[in-house]
Structure 1
Amino acid sequence: MKRESVDGKTLETWDAQELQDALESRDAVLIDVRSPAEYMLGHVAGSLLMPMPDFDAKALPEKGKKRLVLMCGSGMRSEKMARKVLAAGAEQVAHLDGGFGAWKEAKLPHVAVDFPTGGQKAVNQD
């Protein structure tokens, strides 16, 4: 995990395995900032959708003991929104380096469209 100080606050950049470990141990809440269409095509199970055009840092769930981690397709939008979260007053937030693309490249479990049926299917799930 990389850490960057932003005006005395902490922006963390996580890799896909760090996020997977935190989700498995229930230590993180994942916020997906992609569009609803992108989310429908594939997403991490349990992630919450808050599309970038409607993103409101003050509307994020209270993190409590869990870490807030933002994700997009490549890591660019999530970093931008993470900086917005810090500017809105949060002391710490994280985002996924490489976004959902990195998650899929790491062959981690997710939900994707099953094109023949139009439904959804689990991918890379044990």
Structure 2
Amino acid sequence: MADPRDLSPATVCDGLKASEILLVDVREPNEFAFERIHGALLLPLSTFEPKSIPTDTGRKIVFQCGSGKRSRAALDAFLAATGADAAHMAGGIMKWKADGLPCVQINPATGKVEDHGRY
């Protein structure tokens, strides 16, 4: 049975489009600078403070990382510290990109930021 806190990239994308999700990227700043999902907030797991995340935004908090491991750790820490409802994006940004969803990336050949469309 699937964990209801494991959201697919498509579900997260739909929630972002509807302004129902606050996406929190828990990767490190260099990873975020290289590629990111539009609208994601950066709160690296290395300096993660669960209680610093506002729980009264009217949006579901969803954690995201590269593959889903760090975001699950962030979710577990957040739930333990706050008890607030939250989830994480299973598969991370790797699955997001594999599913063909848009992101902002640095082109390694040119060093320029490329916006690959909005969700």
Same fold by TM (over 0.5)?
A: yes
Q: What residue ranges of structure 1 are gaps of 5+ in the alignment?
A: 4-11
Question: Would you say how many aligned residue pairs link Structure 1 and Structure 2?
Answer: 118
Counterpart CA distance in 1 for 2:71 and 2:28 is 12
Counterpart CA distance in 1 for 2:26 and 2:73 is 10
**Which letter does structure 1 place at the counterpart of 2:55?**
E
Closer/same/farther in 2, CA of residues 121 and 82 from structure 1, 3 Å limit: same
Closer/same/farther in 2, CA of residues 13 and 125 from structure 1, 3 Å limit: same
Partner of 1:9: none
Corresponding position: 1:57 with 2:50: yes
Partner of 1:19: 12
Partner of 1:46: 39
Q: What's the Cα RMSD here?
A: 1.6
**Which letter does structure 2 place at the counterpart of 1:120?**
V
Match of 2:82, SS?
coil
Larger fraction in strand = 1
Corresponding position: 1:119 with 2:119: no
Identity percentage over the alignment?
Answer: 31
2:64 to 65, 71, 75: 71
Partner of 1:83: 76
Match of 1:121, SS?
strand
TM-score (norm 2): 0.91
